[in-house]
Copies of this chain bind each other. A is one copy, B any other.
Amino acid sequence: MATRRERLREQTSAEIKATALAHLREGGGAALSLRAVAVSIGMSPAGLYRYYPNREALITDLITDGFAALAEEVTRARDAAKGDAFVAAALAYRQWALTHPHEFALLYGTPIPDYAAPESGPTSHASRAVGAAFVPPIIEAWHRGTLKRREVDPTITALNTFAAAVDLPPDAAAIAFTAWTTIHGLVVLETFGHLAWLGENPAPLAESRFQALSEDLGIAP
Binding site for B on A (CB under 8 A): 27-31, 102, 105-106, 108-113, 116, 119, 124, 127-128, 150, 152-153, 155-159, 161-162, 165, 174, 177-178, 180-186, 188-189, 192-199, 201-202, 204-205, 208-209, 212-213, 216
Contact = CB atoms under 8 A, between A and B. Distances in A.
Nearest to A29: B110
| A interface, over-half SS | helix
A157 B194 CA distance: 17
Copies in the complex: 2
Nearest to A165: B197
Contacts of A111: 105, 109, 192-193
Contact of A105 (B110, B152, B196): B110
B162 A198 contact: yes
Nearest to A124: B197
Given A110-B110, A204-B158, A186 B197 contact: no
A185 to B, nearest CB: 2
Given A150-B216, A161-B199, A177-B209, 13 more contacts: A108-B188, A109-B109, A110-B110, A153-B208, A155-B204, A156-B208, A157-B199, A158-B198, A158-B205, A159-B205, A178-B182, A180-B185, A216-B216
Contacts of A31: 113
23 contacts: A30-B30, A30-B110, A30-B112, A31-B113, A105-B111, A106-B110, A109-B109, A109-B111, A110-B110, A127-B194, A152-B208, A153-B208, A157-B199, A158-B199, A162-B205, A174-B209, A177-B209, A178-B209, A178-B213, A181-B185, A184-B185, A184-B189, A216-B216
Contacts of A152: 208
Contacts of A185: 180-186, 188
The 6 closest A-B pairs by CB, nearest first: A185-B185, A109-B110, A181-B185, A158-B205, A158-B198, A181-B186
